[in-house]
Amino acid sequence: MKTINARLKSWASILDENAEAQALTTATMPFVFPHVALMPDAHLGLGATVGSVIPTLRAVMPAAVGVDIGCGMIAVKTQFTASDLPADRRELRQQIERAVPTSAGAYNRKVVATAEPRIAELTALAASRGFDPRSYAGNWELQLGTLGSGNHFIEVSLDETDAVWLFLHSGSRGVGNRIAQHHIKVAKALIEKWWIALPDPDLAYLVEGTSEFGRYIDELTWAQRFALLNREEMMDRVARQVSEWMGTPVVESERINCHHNFTQKENHFGKDVWLSRKGAISARAGELGLIPGSMGTASYVVEGLGNPVALESSPHGAGREYSRSAARKAFTVDDLRTAMVGIEYRDTDAFIDEIPAAYKPIDRVMDDASDLVRIRHTLRQIINVKGD
C-alpha cells in the first residue's frame, strides 16, 4: 500500500498518472472521510477513477457509483470435473448464446417462467420505493436475464482441482443506465443552481436529507437488486444448458453473487458513511467475493481479509491499460486468437478491444491485493461467451 497523501491510499503498483490525478481530485471533496482507497486495478474513469472506494459523509456522487449500477459477478461450483466434459465444447457455447441474449440492446422476447418471481419482487420493490421503472425503460422486464456487451461475459471454467465452475459478469442493463444518467443530470443541475464550483462537473453530488438524495437512493437500491437478480436469472439459464449438455442436472455446491459498482451505508473509522465502490468488491473478513481476469486469463474466488485502511474492499478485475480505441489500434484479431488458444469462444474481431493485453496482468493485480483478500480458487476458462 502507498500513501499518496493523507486523503488517498493506493494499492495499485500500475497506475496511470491521469488516473492518479483524477483520484487526487476526488479525494479533495470536503465530505470524503477518511480517505479514498485506490484498488490494484484502478484506471481512469468518468468523474471518479474506476477501482476506487469512496466514503462520503451525508452526500453521494452518482457518477462515482457509475452508470452500470450494481454491476458484478456470480459464480457457481458444480459437481462436474474436467474429465466429465466432452472434448467439443462449441455446442455448449452456442446453447448458452441461444438461452441468454447477449450484445447491447439485445433483450428477451418474452418473460420466461424463471424470471416471473424475480420480476414480481422487483415490481413490488419499486412500488414500495414510490417509482415506476417503466418511466426509465418500458421493456425493463424483458431486460432481466440478459448479458450486455463490453467486458460482460459468461464463462465455463476449471479450478485448481479441475472442478467445473460457471461464472458470469453483468449489471443492471439499460434500465440501470438510465436511472444513473438521470440522477447524474439532477446532481449537476443542483450544483449549478447552488453556484457551487467543482474541480470536475462529474463530481456533482446529492445531499442527504433532500428529496433528490432520497429518490436516488431508492432507485439505486432497486437497480442494485435488479442487477443481482439479473445475474441469478442468467446463471439459472446457464446451469440449465449445462444440465442438458451433460445429460444430468447441475448440483451446486457453492454460489457467490457480489456487486462491484454500488453504494451502501457502512461504518468505517467510527462514522457511518455512504461507501461507493466504483469497480471494487466488499471484502470484509471472511466474506467471499469474485475477481475476474480479462478475456482468456484467470479469475479468482477470494475471501476478504477486512483490511480497514482499504475500507474492507478489494479489486474487481484486471483494470484496463488500453482504452478500447487504443486497443483496436494496437492489436489484431490474430493476436486475440493467440491469446485464446484452448478456449472455446466466438471468433470475431468484435472482441479485439477485450484482448487480455489491453488489461493489467491479473497476477500482478492479485499480488497487489495480497493484504486485501486470500485466494480460495483460481479459475481458468474453457468456454467464453460475450456480446458484441
CATH number, domain at 380? 3.90.1860.10
Q: Structure pTM?
A: 0.96
What's the domain range around 303?
A: 2-386
Burial of 375 (0-12, 13-18, 19+ CB in 10 A): middle
Contact 203, 276 (CB under 8 A): no
CA 206 distance to own-chain centroid: 23
Q: How far apart are CA 50 and CA 45, in angstroms?
A: 5
- Using CA atoms of 213, 217, 220, 222 in order, give the dihedral in degrees to the nearest 10: -140
Count H helices and E strands in the chain, helices first. Answer: 10, 17
What pLDDT does 74 receive? 98
Quickly tell me which residue has 485448481 as its cell.
Answer: 160
What pLDDT does 99 receive? 96
Number of domains present in the structure of the chain: 1
Q: How far apart are CA 66 and CA 202, in angstroms?
A: 10
Contacts of residue 17, defined as CB under 8 A and 6 or more positions apart, other chains included, come to none
What pLDDT does 47 receive? 78
Binning the chain into helix, strand and coil, the percentages to the nearest 5 are 35, 25, 35
Catalytic option among 169, 259, 316, 377: 316
What pLDDT does 308 receive? 98
pLDDT 10s per residue in the chain (388 long)? 999 999 999 999 999 999 999 999 999 999 999 999 999 999 999 879 999 999 999 999 999 999 999 999 999 999 999 999 998 999 999 999 999 999 888 899 999 999 999 999 999 999 999 999 999 999 999 999 999 988 899 999 999 999 999 999 999 999 999 999 999 999 999 999 999 999 999 999 999 999 999 999 999 999 999 999 999 999 999 999 999 999 999 999 999 999 999 999 999 999 999 999 999 999 999 999 999 998 889 999 999 999 999 999 999 999 888 999 999 999 999 999 999 999 999 999 999 999 999 999 999 999 999 999 999 999 999 999 998 8
Mark whether 169 is an active-site residue.
no
